[in-house]
Amino acid sequence: MSGFVDESGLHVKGGDGGAGAVSFRREAHVAKGGPDGGDGGDGGDVWLVADRNVASLLGFRDHPHRRAPDGTHGSSKRAHGRSGADLVVAVPEGTVVRDRQGSVLADLVGQGERWLAAAGGRGGRGNASFRSQRRRAPSFAEQGEVGEERWLRMELKLLADVALVGLPNAGKSTLISVISAARPKIAAYPFTTLEPNLGVVRRGDVELVVADIPGLIEGASEGRGLGHRFLRHVERARALVVLVDLASVDGVAPGRQEEILLAELGRYRPDLLARPRLVVGSKADVADPEARAAWSGPRLSAVTGEGVAEVVGRMAEMVASVRAAEPEPEAFVVHRPVAEGFRVERSDDGFVVVGRQAERAVAVSDLTNRDALAYVHGRLRRLGVDRALARAGAREGDTVRVGAMTFEYEE
Ligand SMILES: Nc1nc2c(ncn2[C@@H]2O[C@H](COP(=O)(O)OP(=O)(O)OP(=O)(O)O)[C@@H](O)[C@H]2O)c(=O)[nH]1
Ligand SMILES: [Mg+2]
């Protein structure tokens, strides 16, 4: 899993709604037929869906834009436009989606969980929809609504069963390379691993996902070394295997290594210490006699294979008992709906009315058309925009902007 990417930006854009049509029936024996302009089609939505076949956010790094198709315009004879198809964007399980300010919008934990990232715009109504007793021949139609658009930040926390934690050079990558098919870089110096490696370990018919995390150092919880970036990957692991180096070149005693590692984990998130864990001495084949004497816990050598099967067995047991105690995965999706309605804000030269409903009310095909203007004013009044402006202190003659329209306030 080299080139593992665990963060990426994503720009999503829902399709625009098609415009409604202005059209009148034409019949041989009728001078002017009724309005028959059809509605525009809705724009497609952009959905993010957790998919376990996607392993990283790599695909988004060079291509961060995802756009759903637009709806087509309405036409005469009440023909409605076609809606744009929804766009489904597959993301890895465990993807957390935030807005640019960092607030969590969605947490796509398990297979199939979906979240609406950008709603398509609704299609505009054709003039046939505006017919009323008073307005028999409406000569305007609604424009399509523009699809939602925004930048998101995605973050992937590895969904590992077991995280291998240790000081740099303790032998974590070597261990994962002998128990799984992962082939990470291994070298006789610290900080060899710069990004987490995932490996699948099979024991009987149980599968465990093991994560080899870059080495932790004292102060990691405050951001030293590769710090927080990697402690994050430990967060969701069901169990921890703490590797202490029995042949440490710096001569740090195994017990002291354990202390340092547990202190950093606990400082980062106290509940990490409540996870099932196994502390194992590594490099048993070359352990220095003092360390060997000082360490009474389980030990292994990834080189000779001594103790490895036992440790894998213990990992499997820990994971199995955690899994058994877990409730059925619950769809946990945070979803903040877009606020309907509107609000009034002050601008440099007067007032602005912001909000979907109000903006939609002025989105008609032709604002120079008296008929359309009368409709727009009536609609804004019914929404309560006039009252809200009065409350906000608007005076006769003030400039008010709503979407693309600007008008003078009249009391
Ligand atoms: N003799 C012996 N050497 C080992 C054993 N396990 C790892 N090593 C050696 O220890 C050195 C460090 O191993 P890595 O697996 O890269 O250590 P690491 O914990 O992944 O290191 P970082 O990625 O820097 O945190 C390498 O030279 C390995 O060959 C072992 O069981 N026996
Ligand atoms: Mg390593």
Residues 104 and 38 in one domain: yes
Output the CA 205–ligand 2 centroid distance in Å: 27
Mean pLDDT of 96-122: 92
Closest residue CA from atom 13 of ligand 1: 171
How far is Cα 16 from Cα 371, in angstroms, rounded to an integer? 25
Pocket of ligand 1 (CB under 6 A): 166, 168-174, 186-188, 190-193, 214-215, 282-283, 285-286, 301-303
CA of 307 to the centre of ligand 2 (A): 20
What is the arithmetic mean of pLDDT over 95-115?
Answer: 90
On whether both 105 and 149 belong to a single domain, the answer is yes
62 & 138 share domain = yes
Q: Are 189 and 299 found together in one domain? A: yes
| 287 lies in some domain | yes
Paired sense of beta strands 405-408 and 399-402, if any? antiparallel
Atom of ligand 1 nearest to the CA of 302: 31
pLDDT in tens, 232-257: 778 878 899 999 999 988 889 999 99
Residues 7, 151, single domain; the answer is: yes
Work out which ligand 1 atom sits closest to the CA atom of 170: 19
Measured between alpha carbons, how far is 277 from 319 in angstroms, rounded to an integer?
10
For ligand 1, the distance from its centroid to the CA atom of residue 186, given in whole angstroms, is 6
Ligand closest to CA 261: 1
The pLDDT value recorded for residue 301 is 97
Which one-letter DSSP state was computed for residue 284?
G
| Same domain, yes or no: 148 and 272 | no
Q: Is the pLDDT of residue 205 over 60?
A: yes
> Is 266 in the same domain as 283?
yes
Query: Tokens 């740090």 — which residue?
Result: 252
Exposure letters 126-161 (e unless 16+ CB within 10 A, then b): bbbbbeeeeeeebbbbbbbbbbbeeebbbbbbbbbb
200 and 173 assigned to the same domain: yes
Q: Ligand 2 mean position to 29 CA, how many Å? A: 85
User: Which pLDDT value is given to residue 29?
Assistant: 76
- Which CATH number belongs to the domain containing residue 69 in this structure? 2.70.210.12
- CB-CB neighbours of 42 under 10 Å: 27
Q: Assign 3-class secondary structure to 96-153.
A: EEECCCCCEEEEECCCCCEEEEECCCCCCCCHHHHCCCCCCCCCCCECCCCCCEEEEE
Spatial separation of the C-alpha atoms in residues 357 and 82, rounded to whole Å: 23
Confidence (pLDDT) at 69: 98
pLDDT reported for residue 1: 33
**What's the half-sphere exposure (Cβ side, CA atoms, 13 Å) at 218?**
6
Is pLDDT at 126 greater than 80 in this prediction? yes
Q: Are 64 and 104 in contact (CB under 8 A)?
A: no
What share of the chain in percent tops pLDDT 90?
52
Residue 13 β-bridge partners: 67, 149
Q: Lowest-pLDDT range, 16-20, 38-42, 251-255?
A: 251-255
Nearest CA to ligand 1 atom 5: 283
Instruction: Report if residue 334 sits inside a domain.
Output: no
For the cut 90, the answer to whether the pLDDT of residue 166 exceeds it is: yes
The confidence score (pLDDT) of residue 2 equals 33
**Among 156, 183, 216, which residue terminates a domain?**
156
Distance 2 CA to ligand 2 centre (A): 12
Higher confidence at residue 119 or residue 156?
119
pLDDT of residue 149: 95
Are residues 315 and 201 in contact, defined by beta-carbon separation less than 8 angstroms? yes
Residue finishing a domain among 298, 325, 352: 325
Q: What is the dihedral of CA 315, 316, 320, 321, to 10 degrees?
A: -40
Two structure tokens written together for 85: 């198809």
Q: Residue 55: its pLDDT value, please?
A: 67
- 249 assigned to some structural domain: yes
pLDDT band at 199 (very low <50, low <70, confident <90, very high): confident
Of 105, 134, 156, the residue at which a domain comes to its end is 156
Residues 313 and 383 in one domain: no
The reply to whether 36 and 13 lie within a common domain is: yes
Q: Is residue 4 part of a domain?
A: yes
Task: Quote the number of domains for the chain.
Answer: 3
247 and 358 within one domain: no
Is 391 part of any domain? yes
Q: Which residue has the higher pLDDT, 5 or 137?
A: 137
- Closest by CA to 22, choosing from 71, 75, 73, 72, is 75
CATH number at residue 261: 3.40.50.300
CA of 253 relative to ligand 1 center, distance in Å: 17
Instruction: Say what the pLDDT of residue 110 is.
Output: 81
Of 172, 177, 180, 186, best ligand 1 pocket probe by most atoms within 8 Å of the beta carbon: 186
User: Between vectors from CA 262 to CA 98 and to CA 173, what angle results, nearest 5°?
Assistant: 75
326, 366 Cβ separation under 8 angstroms = no
pLDDT band at 228 (very low <50, low <70, confident <90, very high): low
What number is the average pLDDT over the span 328-353? 71
For residue 329, what pLDDT is reported? 53
Is pLDDT of 287 > 60? yes
Where in the sequence is the domain holding 59, given as residue range(s)?
1-156
Q: Are residues 256 and 357 in the same domain?
A: no
* Of 46, 56, 22, nearest in space to 156 by CA: 56
Locate the ligand 1 atom nearest the alpha carbon of residue 168 and give its number. Answer: 25
Percent of the chain with pLDDT over 70: 92
**Is 336 contained in some domain?**
no
Domain assignment of residue 331, yes or no: no
For residue 338, tell me if it sits in a domain.
no
* pLDDT reported for residue 339: 58
Q: Which ligand is nearest to the CA of 230?
A: 1
Would the pLDDT of 31 be above 80?
no
Measure 217 CA to ligand 2 centroid, in angstroms.
13
Nearest CA to ligand 1 atom 6: 171
Residue 379: CATH number of its domain: 3.30.300.350
